[in-house]
Structure 1
Amino acid sequence: MIAVIMAAGKGSRLGEYTTNLPKSLLPLNDSGKTLLDYNLDILDALEIKRILIVTGFNSELIEKHTSSNAKVEIIYNPFWDNCNVLGSLYVALNHIDDDFLFLHADTLANLKIWQILEKTNGDMVLPFERKKCGEEEMKVVLGENNALLNITKEIDPEKSQGEFLGIAKFSKKTVSYFKQKAEELFKKGNLNHYMEAVVQSAIQNQDIDITVMDILDNQFVEVDFEEDYQKAKQLFGA
């Protein structure tokens, strides 16, 4: 199994924190441990031997930061400012030759979540947190036996059962599926798609085995705004 980290965006909603610094390099503590370092430590604990990091904004800073890590391969997305997450994943697909863990560099989850995820069966395994969602969250709608019916931001929060964490495990067989569905979407002239658009296609076509995983009481935070950043430092800065 390998890991693929999305780290291309600028993080503009964090204002001055990320004027020149990729969000993934924000420090979690006074020793300089970054959001990216936290996730690299998690992957080390899981004994992941190959890590692809898709970069964009000020890529050279991430390249320098990870230059001593022999497990890391940098994949630069030259279109990072003109596409969304699916575009960054797409540029990595030809480098993926195994089952893979998918994560955003700005999403921090405790090790137990990752350990459960790694052991859960399914071609697409998607962790979620049961909670009342707002408009911004990537929401999940579940049916009987926790069957995934919908995954999107564009839904009434009252109809959702929780938030998708933005981390996942995908089997090797999904690589060609992601490529095919991404190209179908891009050919329509819109590059601004989330990765979840392909998951939504799999739900509708019922052609991929999808498993959702409740994280129960474990901790995670997605760093989008300053309050998220402060929470991440409190929970994961030790």
Structure 2
Amino acid sequence: MIGLVLAAGAGRRLRPYTDTLPKALVPVDPAGEGTTTVLDLTLGNFAEVGLTEAAIVVGYRKEAVYERQAALEAKYGVKLHLVENDKAEEWNNAYSLWCARDVIKEGVILANGDTVHPVSVEKTLLAARGDGQRIILALDTVKQLADEEMKVITADGKGVQRITKLMDPASATGEYIGVTLIEAEAGADLADALKATFERDPQLYYEDGYQELVNRGFQVDVAPIGEVSWVEIDNHDDLNRAREIACRY
């Protein structure tokens, strides 16, 4: 199993940082000096759970990731492979994850490049393996939900029934936090579902690819992460929150 980070997006709501950097390289250290980024934290998590290799899907401002590749490999002891998304500024992330379809077939822990979270999330996913699950989503069942969150409804013994932002928060089991364990044997099915998803609408999310799998009868499971401090960075308020959280990890 290897790590996989989606880091191709532009993150325009985080300008001026993202004038020159992808979101995954926006500084989350308290001083904002760039000593710690989301990518640093994620690679650190991968290393702590024993992963020695990771792929990063790059697109917008990809040169900034290439420039830091050697330093990141040396710092975290994780060999990095960069996968290029040629439509990063045009299409949404269903296509971005599909670009890594050959990587997914090796079995991955997938992390969004804008999610600050502790290594306990990866540990929870790894601990949940072994009962035939092929895809396991990290689920926050504690947080109070609103309209923007990627919400999930589950059924006992049947896994995910629905995953979308477009549902009543009161009906949701929890929020998908942007970290998934994908076993190698799920890779081909997921790649096919992602392809069908972006061909239907290139602006769809990879989570819509998960829904496509569910609609096809594929069981997608979840692992509750407990009471964990994490944040998805979409804007400057989120970035301030990320800096508060990141210093704890």
- Fold match (TM-score > 0.5): yes
Figure out how many residues of one structure are paired with residues of the other and give that number.
236
Matches within 5 A, 1:92-131: 92-121=100-129, 122-130=133-141, 131=143
CA offset at residue 16 of structure 1? 2.2
Change (3 A) 1:78 1:147: closer
Is 1:220 aligned with 2:199?
Answer: no
Change (3 A) 1:80 1:179: same
> Match of 1:181, SS?
helix
CA offset at residue 204 of structure 1? 2.1
> Match of 1:5, SS?
strand
- 1 CA distance for matches of 2:135 and 2:104? 15
- Residue in 2 that maps onto 1:4: 4
- 1 CA distance for matches of 2:3 and 2:176? 18
- Residue in 1 that maps onto 2:207: 196
Percent identity (aligned) = 25
* One-letter identity of the residue aligned with 2:79: K
- Residue in 1 that maps onto 2:13: 13
* One-letter identity of the residue aligned with 1:60: E
Matches within 5 A, 1:51-62: 51-62=54-65
- Residue in 2 that maps onto 1:234: 244
- Residue in 1 that maps onto 2:95: 87
Q: Please tell me whether the aligned partners of residues 27 and 35 of structure 1 are also in contact (alpha carbons under 8 angstroms).
A: yes
Query: Which structure 2 residue ranges, 5 or more long, are not aligned?
Result: none
CA offset at residue 146 of structure 1? 7.4
* One-letter identity of the residue aligned with 1:35: V
The correspondence for 2:169, drawn from 140, 145, 157, is 157
CA offset at residue 8 of structure 1? 0.3
Q: Please tell me whether the aligned partners of residues 128 and 162 of structure 1 are also in contact (alpha carbons under 8 angstroms).
A: yes
Q: Please tell me whether the aligned partners of residues 132 and 158 of structure 1 are also in contact (alpha carbons under 8 angstroms).
A: no
Q: Which moved more, 1:29-38 or 1:71-80?
A: 29-38
Query: Which structure 1 residue ranges, 5 or more long, are not aligned?
Result: none
Q: Please tell me whether the aligned partners of residues 146 and 212 of structure 1 are also in contact (alpha carbons under 8 angstroms).
A: no
Relative to the length of structure 1, the TM-score reads: 0.92
Q: Which moved more, 1:32-41 or 1:175-184?
A: 175-184
